[in-house]
């Protein structure tokens, strides 16, 4: 279940958490964390190409256990199209996967936990750095 006070974690934040960032660990302890299917895919991709594949895959599975993983539906796609169009018109495109994450955050009224500054270009997106 997604709570309005939940945080949607971006890939860089998830990676930092998995690598032991204590500030981020405290933030995630104090809030419900939602994971995008996009972030999970990026984490699994990174693990597949790492030198510690099995260890990293296990860490990702542990991180995802018990957390809500959100996917994509027609409403997400609608938000994606609007966001991507607005960014293109403003001359500030961002990576496709981050548009999907932003679309999910807006759809579900979630703050995105990230250090990627380009999320600031997405209108009506609540961004939380750590």
For 23, residues 6+ apart whose C-beta sits below 8 A from its C-beta are 130
In a domain, 110, yes or no: yes
This prediction has a pTM of 0.93
User: Distance between CA atoms of 120 and 98, rounded to whole angstroms?
Assistant: 11
Q: Report the pLDDT value the prediction gives residue 130, as an integer from 0 to 100.
A: 87
The total number of structural domains in the chain stands at 1
Distance CA 65, CA 6 (A): 16
Could you tell me the residue range of the domain that residue 92 belongs to?
7-128
Q: Please report the pLDDT score of residue 5 as a whole number.
A: 73
- What are the pLDDT digits (tens) for 31-51? 999 999 999 999 999 999 999
State the chain's mean pLDDT as an integer. Answer: 95
Say whether pLDDT at 4 is over 70. no
We report the CATH number of the domain holding residue 106 as: 3.40.50.1010
Tokens of 111: 């703050």
Asked whether 106 and 119 are in contact (CB, 8 A), the reply is no
Which residue spans within 14-123 are E strands per DSSP? Answer: 33-36, 68-70, 111-113
Instruction: Give the pLDDT confidence of 40-80 residue by residue, as tens digits.
Output: 999 999 999 999 999 999 999 999 998 999 999 999 999 99
The SS3 assignment for 118 reads helix
pLDDT of residue 121: 97
């Amino acid at each position: 279940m997604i709570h309005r006070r939940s945080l949607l974690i971006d890939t860089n934040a998830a990676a930092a958490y998995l690598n032991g960032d204590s500030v981020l660990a405290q933030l995630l302890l104090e809030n419900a964390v939602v994971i995008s299917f996009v972030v999970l895919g990026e984490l699994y991709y990174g693990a597949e190409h790492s030198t510690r594949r099995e260890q990293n895959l296990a860490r990702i599975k542990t991180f995802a256990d018990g957390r809500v993983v959100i996917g994509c539906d027609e409403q997400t796609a609608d938000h994606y199209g609007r966001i991507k169009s607005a960014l293109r018109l403003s001359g500030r495109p961002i990576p496709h996967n981050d548009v999907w994450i932003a679309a999910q955050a807006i759809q579900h009224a979630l703050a995105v936990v990230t250090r990627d500054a380009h999320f600031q270009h997405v209108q009506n997106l609540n961004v939380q750095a750590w």
